[in-house]
Chain A
Amino acid sequence: MTRATPTSPTTGPDIVASGGPASAATGGASARHDVAAAAPAWAGSPWRERLRRVLLAVAALVLLCAVWELYRAVGPTDGGRLFGVPVLPRATDTAMPHTWDIVAQLGEKEVRTAGSDTVGVAVAKAMWFSLRVAFAGLVVGVVVGVLLAVAMARLRIVERGLLPYVIASQTVPLVALAPLVAGWGGKLQLGSLEWERWMSVSMIAAYLAFFPVAVGMLRGLQSPGPNAVELMRSYAASWWQTLLRLRLPASVPFLLPALRLAAASAVIGAIVAEISTGTRGGIGRLIIDYSQSASSDASRLYDAVLGAAVAGLLFAGLISLVELALTWRRRHGGGRARPIRKVGT
Chain B
Amino acid sequence: MTSTGPATAPAPQAGAAEAAPAAGAAPVPAVEVRGLDKVFPVSGGGQTVALSGIDLTVAPGEFVSLIGPSGCGKSTLLRLVADLLEPSAGEVRVFGKPAGEARRGQDYGIAFQQAGLLEWRTVAGNVELPLQVHGVRKKERRARARDLLALVGLADFADHWPAQLSGGMQQRVAIARALAERPRLLLLDEPFGALDEMTRERMQAELARIRHETATTVILVTHSIPEAVFLSDRVAVMSPRPGRITRIVDIDLPNRVGAPGESGGLADADDVREQSAFFAAVTAVREALRAGGPA
Residues of A participating in the B interface, judged by any CB pair closer than 8 Å: 42, 225, 227-228, 230-237, 241, 245-246, 249-250, 252, 330, 333-334, 336, 338, 340, 342-345
Contact = CB atoms under 8 A, between A and B. Distances in A.
Contacts of B133: 232, 235, 237, 241, 245
A246 B110 CA distance: 17
Contacts of B103: 233-234, 236
Per CB-CB distance, the 8 closest pairs between chain A and chain B, nearest first, are A334-B122, A227-B116, A236-B104, A235-B133, A237-B133, A249-B120, A235-B130, A234-B110
A343 B163 contact: yes
B160 interface: yes
Contacts of A334: 121-122, 124-125, 159
* Chain B residues touching A, majority SS: loop
Contact of A234 (B84, B119, B124): B84
Size bracket, chain B contacts: 20 to 34
Contact of A340 (B110, B118, B134, B164): B164
A249 B163 CA distance: 16
B120 A330 contact: yes
Contacts of A340: 159-161, 164
B159 A234 contact: no
Most buried by A among B79, B103, B120, B132: B120
Contacts of A236: 103-106
B118 A42 contact: no
A333 B82 CA distance: 33
A336 B160 CA distance: 11
A337 to B, nearest CB: 9
15 contacts: A42-B119, A225-B116, A228-B118, A231-B112, A233-B103, A234-B82, A234-B108, A241-B133, A250-B120, A252-B120, A334-B122, A338-B159, A340-B160, A342-B163, A344-B163
A245 B82 contact: no
B57 to A, nearest CB: 22
Contact of B112 (A230, A241, A246): A230
A42 B120 contact: yes
Interface string B154-169: 0000011101100000
Nearest to A333: B159
Nearest to B108: A234
B129 A245 contact: yes
A334 B164 CA distance: 14
Contact of A249 (B108, B118, B159): B118
A153 B161 CA distance: 28
Contacts of B105: 236
Contacts of A245: 129, 132-133
Interface in B118-157: 118-122, 124-125, 129-130, 132-134
Nearest to A341: B164
Contacts of B79: 230
A246 B159 contact: no
A330 B161 CA distance: 9
Contacts of B132: 245
B114 interface: yes
A233 B134 contact: no
Which among B84, B103, B133, B163 has the greatest number of chain A C-beta atoms within 10 A? B133
Residue among B79, B114, B118, B125 with the highest chain A CB neighbour number at 10 A: B118
A333 B121 CA distance: 9
Nearest to A225: B116
A307 B110 CA distance: 57
A245 B135 CA distance: 12
Contact of B161 (A234, A338, A342): A342
Contacts of A232: 133
Given A236-B104, A237-B133, A241-B133, A231 B116 contact: yes
Nearest to A334: B122
Contacts of A241: 133
